[in-house]
Amino acid sequence: MIKLKTGSNTWAANNLRNSVRLMGWNAAWVASMALAAFGPKLMWNYDTLLTILSVLINLGIGFAMVLANRRYLRGLDELHQKIFLDAAVLTLGVGLVCGLSYELLEDIKLIPFQPEISHLVILMCLTFLTGMIVGHRKYR
């Protein structure tokens, strides 16, 4: 009779560690983005060197976050990788198609205001969230 492992699940523990690491990088990126956005006006009165530095820090942390996201994805099991990638593909498609159409709306004078990148980011976040929920329900 084959004896199964008992005790902790190392795969789950690694997965949790990757999730926490990704969350940390996300929080750091948001904080560095806030620093780069509000720092020049509120903290150092548009000092060029400090502004450039804050933008570079934001970019550096952003790339580290991307790498943490890749590590998180690679640590998932194959079903969860599939769910994640399906949601990511959907997000990329929706972001590209809707982003370009949104930009076009202003060009062809169908909307009176300048398209905001934040609207696209919100749409992409909601699309990814929906894709993840649908994927998890599909394989429940």
Partner 1 sequence: MKNRLKVLRAERDWTQAQLATELEVSRQTVNAIEKGKFDPSLPLAFKVARLFDMAIEDIFQYATES
Residue with Cβ nearer partner 1 (6 or 114): 6
CB of 82 to partner 1, least distance (A): 8
Is residue 138 near partner 1 by the rule CB under 8 A?
yes
Interaction of residue 1 with partner 1, rule CB under 8 A: yes
CB 83 within 8 A of CB 90: no
- Taking CB under 8 A as the rule, which mask of x and - marks residues 42-81 in contact with partner 1? -----------------------------------xxxx-
Binding segment for partner 1 (CB under 8 A), chosen from 4-12, 96-104, 107-115, 120-128, is 4-12
| 137 binds partner 1 per the rule CB under 8 A | no
Buried b (16+ CB within 10 A) or exposed e, 23-43: eebeebbeebbebbeebbeee
Is residue 140 close enough to count as binding partner 1 by CB under 8 A? yes
Q: How far apart are CA 126 and CA 98, in angstroms?
A: 13
Query: In the complex with partner 1, which residue's Cβ is closer, 13 or 43?
Result: 13
Contacts of 37 (CB under 8 A, 6+ apart): none
Task: By CB under 8 A, name the one of 49, 109, 137, 139 that touches partner 1.
Answer: 139
Please list, in sequence order, all residues whose beta carbon lies within 8 angstroms of the beta carbon of residue 17, skipping any fewer than 6 positions away.
Answer: none
Instruction: Write the DSSP assignment of 2-33 as a string of letters.
Output: PPPP-S--HHHHHHHHHHHHHHHHHHHHHHHH
Which positions lie near partner 1, rule CB under 8 A?
A: 1-2, 4-5, 9-12, 77-80, 82, 136, 138-140
